[in-house]
Amino acid sequence: MEKSLILVKPDGVERGLTGTIIGRLEELGLKLVAIRMLRADKDLAERHYAIHRERPFFNDLVNYITSSPIVAAVFEGEEAVSRIRKACGATDPAQSEKGTIRGDFGLDIGRNTIHASDSPETAAVEVETFFGNEGTCEYTRIN
């Protein structure tokens, strides 16, 4: 079954939106299989966003994601990656549809409330990055 990693970014945690965001994804019928709050350090943030290393916004991105605690979670379900990306909306909240997480809560392109894996392959790497030590849980989701 497909897994996807999400991060509630600092703006989501600080505004008390963690439960709402996790709830929206649970309401899609996806199964929550791991969750933890952490303050990412520079090394973790740079590894997570390594693909953007050459982009002009890389330093801002790393500074932002390490500025305050985040909540990392893993959801499991059929087509979890694409369904969660759809629920998140476009990267820039100004372009995201209402009813999506970023469209409803995102403040700007940096403070866009949530990260979500962009492919099953990326998800596997990201789950390992954030939950490599403790792993994920197994149970039956009853809908």
CA distances (Å), 58 to each of 69, 93, 135, in order?
19, 19, 28
Residue 99 interface partner, choices Mg ion, ligand IDP, none, CB cut-off 5-8 Å depending on type: none
Are 113 and 12 spatial neighbours (Cβ–Cβ below 8 Å)? Answer: yes
Residue 61 interface partner, choices ligand IDP, Mg ion, none, CB cut-off 5-8 Å depending on type: ligand IDP
Which residue among 115, 116, 117, 127 is the active-site one?
Answer: 115
Per-residue tokens: 138: 């197994």
- Give the interface size with Mg ion as a residue count (CB under 5 A): 1
Give least dist CB 143 to Mg ion, A: 29
Interacting residues toward ligand IDP by CB under 6 A: 52, 57, 61, 91, 109-110, 112, 115, 118
Give least dist CB 84 to ligand IDP, A: 11
Give least dist CB 69 to Mg ion, A: 20
11 CB contacts (<8 Å, ≥6 apart)? 105, 107, 111, 112, 113
Extended strands (E) in the chain: 3-8, 31-38, 70-76, 114-116
Q: What gap in Å lies between CA 26 and CA 38, rounded to an integer?
A: 21
Residue 104 interface partner, choices Mg ion, ligand IDP, none, CB cut-off 5-8 Å depending on type: none
Footprint of Mg ion on 66-125 (CB under 5 A): 118
Neighbours of 97 (CB within 10 A): 11
Q: What gap in Å lies between CA 102 and CA 89, rounded to an integer?
A: 6
| Closer by beta carbon to ligand IDP, 52 or else 141 | 52
| Closer by beta carbon to ligand IDP, 39 or else 86 | 86
Is 115 a known active-site residue? yes
Q: Which amino acids are annotated catalytic?
A: 115
